[in-house]
Structure 1
Amino acid sequence: MEPTADPLPRLRALCMALPEVTEKLSHGEPTWFVRRVFVSYADRHHDDVLGFWCAAPPGVQEELVAADPQRFFRPPYVGGRGWLGVRLDVDVDWEEIAEIVTDAYRQIAPRKLVALLGDVNGR
């Protein structure tokens, strides 16, 4: 799979488009918060993977890693809590990334903020 152009601006735009999201550096990497962390960029910080880590609904990490280990992984530190690692140094499906980011937001954001999203993608 071919790497995509610098994915950070596109990932940042997806995260910042969600209600009340802020960006801060955490452990030297851009990280997005909605009260708590929901997505953290990973620019080869812990390994040689360019990607991000995010909150995920129960069972999603196992499902996606099993289905496509070239694109998804169990990230260090937070993988044991069900967080998902997503590679951005491969051919990236940005529609899928947008869904993953929105699902991460839904896991962390307060209900009143999640309600602002409406019934996106039938969820």
Structure 2
Amino acid sequence: MEHHHHIRSKEGHEMLDKVREICQALPEVEEIIDGFGHTTFKVKGKSFIMMSESEEGPGFSFKSDHANQEILLQQSCFFKPPYIGHHGWVATKRGEPLDWNEMRELLKEAYLRAAPKRLVKQLLQ
């Protein structure tokens, strides 16, 4: 089954490779293509990154909390995604350059919000 959200472009694959590299350092991460065609990174069944591509280019959403979401939304490269934004999730604006050092920290935080205590403890030791 083909989905229009699936990553196809060179830029999308480069972004996906960077996200994968960050997630490889995190224990028990699973990468799946969900029912909507999003490339989704999960830990113990809980999503913490969802990636897709549209006509505007590739982008992804990541788990955050409301306090951090408010701070991140003040930066031009982020926005509140529909459907999941009210839960604190943040999305990258398509076509905007990203600071991958900052993204590494934000995606690790997203993982820590989704991971069970045992894995959080393992990662933070």
* TM tier relative to shorter chain: 0.7 to 0.9
> Which structure 1 residue ranges, 5 or more long, are not aligned?
none
Q: Which has the higher contact order (CA 8 A, sep 6+)?
A: 1
Corresponding position of 1:33: 42
Deviation per residue, 1:59-94 (Å, 9 max, x gap):
1112111x21x2000011100111111236322211
**Is residue 55–residue 82 contact of structure 1 (8 Å, CA) maintained in 2?**
yes
Corresponding position of 1:43: 53
Moved over 3 A (4+): none
CA–CA separation in structure 1 for the residues paired with 2:47 and 2:25: 15
**Is residue 4–residue 88 contact of structure 1 (8 Å, CA) maintained in 2?**
no
Corresponding position of 1:11: 19
CA–CA separation in structure 1 for the residues paired with 2:24 and 2:86: 26
CA–CA separation in structure 2 for the residues paired with 1:88 and 1:99: 20
Identity of aligned residues (%): 33
TM-score, with length taken from structure 2: 0.80
Matches within 5 A, 1:49-64: 50-64=58-72
TM-score, with length taken from structure 1: 0.81
